[in-house]
Structure 1
Amino acid sequence: MLGSILIIVAAWMGWKLKALTVTGALSAVVIGFMSLAGTGARGLILLGAFFVSSSLWSKYKAKNKAAMDEKLAKGATRDWKQVAANGGPASICSMLFLTSGNPVWLICFAAAISSANSDTWASEIGPISKRDPISIKGFKRAERGTSGAVSLLGTGASLAGAGFIAILAIPLFGLPPWTGFIIFISGFLGSVIDTILGAYFQVSYKCAVCGLETEKERHCGQAAMKVKGNSLLDNDLVNFLSGAAAVLGAYIAIL
């Protein structure tokens, strides 16, 4: 009962603080209950660590990152698709643990959250770097917020984000210390997969009015022209697939 109340209160607070849209808050409730059913309060704590830390980093130097909003499909306020994309792989692992009782799914649950945290920290901290990032496609300087572009600061943040969740997961779930390395590596791997998919396959558009390359289908009040990628492979799907890749990596490593 207490866990259920905490889920609803957390979602409500996320909406009040404009970290979540209404649909995002509802999605967070679903993800929360799925995690609670399988992993209990421990899973909620790990999810909470991801959500709170990521939200705080999104607010850090927000004015410096405001210019990126024109490139990104969505801002810092997360809708249901973003919540499902980041929390979906973990909640599925929670359900698998509930039905099977196999502790490998606890490790995979933590790996999925590690991946989401790794990618989010990189996305929120990397753009405040003093130098523009380098695109892994062509290895040339790119504008901040460009999918598939990396920086030294962003990579460090990605490693720290994965490690943060791995360190928390060990005492929370009573896992052997060596599994922390698997969670850490799998989480960082998920972030790397996200970068690769973003650079080569994620859909990108170009505004017909101002010429800006953006993730938005419409810009300057008009439909933008697709310049690369698959229309179905937007940022939300890329995030979900990278989390799934982290789960697969952890599962294979344990076997």
Structure 2
Amino acid sequence: MTPLGLRVFVSVMLSAAIAIRALRRKSLDCSAAIIGFIVMSIHLATSYRFGALLLVFFFTSSLLTKLGEEKKRSIDADFKEGGQRNWVQVLANSGIASALVLFVGHLTGWEEPTLSSEGSPLVKCLIGGIIGHYACCNGDTWSSEVGMLSESQPRLITTFKSVPKGTNGAVTTTGLLAAAAAGCVIGLTYLLVGFFTGDYRGLKPLLVIPLSLLAGVFGSLIDSVLGATVQYSGICQVRKKVVGKKGPTVKRISGSAILDNNGVNFVSVVLTTFVTAILFLYVF
């Protein structure tokens, strides 16, 4: 079996197992499990490193989503048991990366892509975009899930005024530190898997870690700014929870109802992916 054939076989088997497990544990609904299977297969078949980034994001985010469920249930009006995600959320967090992964595979002839000095500048740019994409998604998820459990009072990023927990665009120091850690984990994952699948020379590849850390924080901040401005937040006087839609019993806290949470995530991912791609083009 050729290296590509082996990767395809491993990717299909592993992706199917993970999708079934996620469905049983209610991390994904049926539609999300199907889309997730396709997305994971694409990533793993193109590069084990790309697959590792997706899997680390998925598993760590799912774990943190389930952390402190009782407290989150009392705060989050849209709380779902197990943090179950649908197909829209899966595509919002992996659609752009999947397109970039396929493009990288096409450019490299489906060989393992690297950041070596001899590599194509466009491939390096795309690799940076993929890493930035998952650093952003991971950073946003970690900051939200950990920040919600923080004892400190969140503040709206645009005004720094204290707001209720669960308000879109609210930040805490704990949440920002979590975003930095999340980005760092993505960079570290790419680097460690690369030692087994790539050809690293010198210390330059270590720069992936700080760049990923910055992408995690940048993505989280962009998400917060968008959440505070173009995503509606209000407090329901009956349920005593923050909600994302207007209503007769809802008092506005911040933002306008221009984008929903998926839209905000998509825009922040696009911006972070682009910025990180440019950084990798110049650094590597």
TM-score scaled by structure 1? 0.87
Structure with the greater alpha carbon radius of gyration: 2
Percent identity over paired residues: 29
Gaps of 5+ in 2: 1-8, 109-122
Structure 2 CA distance for partners of 1:74 and 1:204, relative to 1, 3 Å: farther
Determine the structure 2 residue equivalent to 1:32: 40
Determine the structure 2 residue equivalent to 1:20: 28
Instruction: Please point out which of 75, 90, 99 is paired with 2:97.
Output: 90
Q: State how far apart, in whole Å, the 2-side matches of 1:135 and 1:59 are.
A: 25
Structure 2 CA distance for partners of 1:59 and 1:209, relative to 1, 3 Å: closer
| 1:212, distance to aligned residue in structure 2 (A) | 5.2
Determine the structure 2 residue equivalent to 1:66: 73
Does residue 234 of the first structure (1) align with residue 264 of the second (2)?
no
Gaps of 5+ in 1: none
Amino acid at match of 2:229: Y
Does residue 250 of the first structure (1) align with residue 276 of the second (2)?
yes
Contact 1:118 1:157 in 2 (8 A): yes
Instruction: Please point out which of 156, 165, 182 is paired with 2:211.
Output: 182
Contact 1:37 1:95 in 2 (8 A): no
Deviations, residues 210-229 of structure 1 (Å, cap 9, x unaligned)? 57541257x8xx99799842
Q: State how far apart, in whole Å, the 2-side matches of 1:207 and 1:149 are.
A: 17
Amino acid at match of 1:21: D
| 1:230, distance to aligned residue in structure 2 (A) | 3.9
Tell me which moved more, 105-114 or 149-158: 105-114
Let me know the Cα RMSD of the aligned residues.
2.5
Query: What is the aligned residue count?
Result: 249
Determine the structure 2 residue equivalent to 1:195: 224
Q: State how far apart, in whole Å, the 2-side matches of 1:187 and 1:206 are.
A: 29
User: Runs ≥4 in structure 1, deviation > 6 angstroms?
Assistant: 222-227
Q: State how far apart, in whole Å, the 1-side matches of 2:21 and 2:30 are.
A: 11
Tell me which moved more, 237-246 or 208-217: 208-217
TM-score scaled by structure 2? 0.79
Instruction: Please point out which of 6, 10, 27 is paired with 2:18.
Output: 10
| 1:136, distance to aligned residue in structure 2 (A) | 1.5
Deviations, residues 23-80 of structure 1 (Å, cap 9, x unaligned)? 1111212221332343x2222222111111111111111111112221x486711111
Instruction: Please point out which of 122, 136, 141 is paired with 1:120.
Output: 141
Determine the structure 2 residue equivalent to 1:144: 165
Q: State how far apart, in whole Å, the 1-side matches of 2:149 and 2:263 are.
A: 25
Does residue 107 of the first structure (1) align with residue 133 of the second (2)?
no
Q: State how far apart, in whole Å, the 1-side matches of 2:233 and 2:87 are.
A: 21
Secondary structure in structure 2 of the residue aligned to 1:55: helix
Q: State how far apart, in whole Å, the 2-side matches of 1:24 and 1:17 are.
A: 13
Determine the structure 1 residue equivalent to 2:115: none
Secondary structure in structure 2 of the residue aligned to 1:229: coil
Q: State how far apart, in whole Å, the 1-side matches of 2:270 and 2:217 are.
A: 12
Secondary structure in structure 2 of the residue aligned to 1:183: helix
Amino acid at match of 1:13: R
Structure 2 CA distance for partners of 1:187 and 1:213, relative to 1, 3 Å: closer
